[in-house]
Structure 1
Amino acid sequence: MLNKLLQNKTTSLVVIVFVVLLALVRMFEKQLFYDPFLVYFEGDYMKMPLPEYDSFKLFLGLFFRFLLNTLLSLGVLYLLFRDREMLVFISILFFFLFVALIVSFFCVLHFFENRENLLLFYLRRFLIQPLFLILFVPAFYYQKLKN
C-alpha cells in the first residue's frame, strides 16, 4: 500500500490536505464550536464544578465537530483504500458510534453530577477528536492484507 501511495502523488497530496484540515479543525476549535468544556478540561477539572452550558448549543457544537472530523476521516479512508463497501460500513459505524457517545456523554453530564469527570473527559475526547481514523487505518490496512 505504501508503494501505491508513493506512486500516486495526487492521492498522497489530497490525504495530506485532509490531515491538515483535521489539524485546522483542532487549531480553530474555540472559534468554530460552542464548547465550554474546552477551558474546563484545561484546568484542574477533577476538583472544579462543571461549567455552565447550554445543552442544545453543546449538542450542536459536538455534532458539527464530529461531522467535520467524520467527513474528513471518510475522505482519508476512501483515498487510502478505494473501497466503497468499506466506506459505507465505516459511515454506518460512525453514525452508531456518535449516537452511543453523545447519549453516554449527556447521561454522564446530567446524571452523575460532578463525580465522573474523567469519564466525561474521555467521552468528549472521542466526540471531538478524529481518534476513530487513527484506529481504522491500521485495522482496515490489516484487513486488506488478509484478503
Structure 2
Amino acid sequence: MSRLTKLFWVCLGFGLLVLIRVFEADLFYDPLLLFFKTDHTTAPLPDLNIASVMAHTLIRFLLNTAISLGILWVLFQKWEVVKFSAILYAIAGVVLGVVFLLLLHNSEAGAHITLFYVRRFLIQPLFLFLLAPAFYVQHRQLN
C-alpha cells in the first residue's frame, strides 16, 4: 500500500472517530454527557435508563473499536497486531463494561471520578492512542 493510500485511510479513520465525537449527543443516549460538563462533584447522578446507557455505550465502544482496528491494520498491515489489539479491546471492553455497570448502580453523590474515567475509556478511542505508538516502537526495533 502506498504512503498516500495509507494516509488517506488513516485520515478517513480519524475523521470517522471525530464525527462520532462531534455528533455524540445526536447519535447516542447519554445523560452523563451534560452531567459531567456541570459541577458534578456534589450532585447525584441524573435519572437515567441504565439499560439504554449501557447499550449506547456498547455501540459506541464497538464503533470506535472497529475503526481503531482498521487504522491499526492500515498503519502496520500485520494480522498479529490486529488480533492482539482485538483481544485487548475485548478484554478491556468486558472488564470496563462490568465496572461501569457496577459504578452506575452503586454511585453516591459526588463520588463520580472513577465513573468518569471508566466511561471515558469506553466511549473514546484512547486505546488507539496507546497501542499505535507502542506498535510503532516495536516495529522500529524489529527493523
Aligned to 1:28: 23
The size of the alignment, in residue pairs, is 142
Which of residues 36, 42, 60 in structure 2 aligns to 1:47? Answer: 42
Aligned to 2:101: 106
Query: What is the identity, as a one-letter code, of the residue corresponding to 2:4?
Result: K
TM-score calculated relative to the size of structure 1: 0.92
Q: Tell me by how many angstroms 1:106 deviates.
A: 1.3
CA distance in 1, matches of 2:10, 2:107: 40
5+ residue gaps, structure 1: none
CA distance in 2, matches of 1:133, 1:126: 11
Q: Tell me by how many angstroms 1:88 deviates.
A: 0.9
Aligned with 1:41: secondary structure? helix
CA distance in 2, matches of 1:9, 1:66: 29
Q: In 2, are the aligned partners of 1:108 and 1:116 still within 8 Å (CA)?
A: no
5+ residue gaps, structure 2: none
Which of residues 75, 86, 91 in structure 2 aligns to 1:91? Answer: 86
Q: In 2, are the aligned partners of 1:18 and 1:75 still within 8 Å (CA)?
A: yes
Which of residues 101, 114, 133 in structure 1 aligns to 2:128? Answer: 133
TM-score calculated relative to the size of structure 2: 0.94
Q: In 2, are the aligned partners of 1:11 and 1:79 still within 8 Å (CA)?
A: yes
CA distance in 2, matches of 1:43, 1:10: 42
Aligned to 1:14: 9
Query: What is the identity, as a one-letter code, of the residue corresponding to 2:47?
Result: E
Q: Tell me by how many angstroms 1:114 deviates.
A: 2.6
Q: Tell me by how many angstroms 1:115 deviates.
A: 4.7
Task: Describe how 1:48-87 pairs up with structure 2 within 5 A.
Answer: 48-87=43-82
Q: Which stretches of structure 1, 4 residues or more, deviate above 4 A after TM superposition?
A: none
Q: Structure 1, residues 86-142: CA drift from partner, whole Å, max 9, x if none?
A: 101110110110011111111122124235301111011111100001101111111
CA distance in 2, matches of 1:16, 1:24: 12
Q: In 1, are the aligned partners of 2:43 and 2:110 still within 8 Å (CA)?
A: no
Query: What is the identity, as a one-letter code, of the residue corresponding to 1:97?
Result: A
Q: In 1, are the aligned partners of 2:45 and 2:107 still within 8 Å (CA)?
A: no
Q: In 1, are the aligned partners of 2:42 and 2:110 still within 8 Å (CA)?
A: no
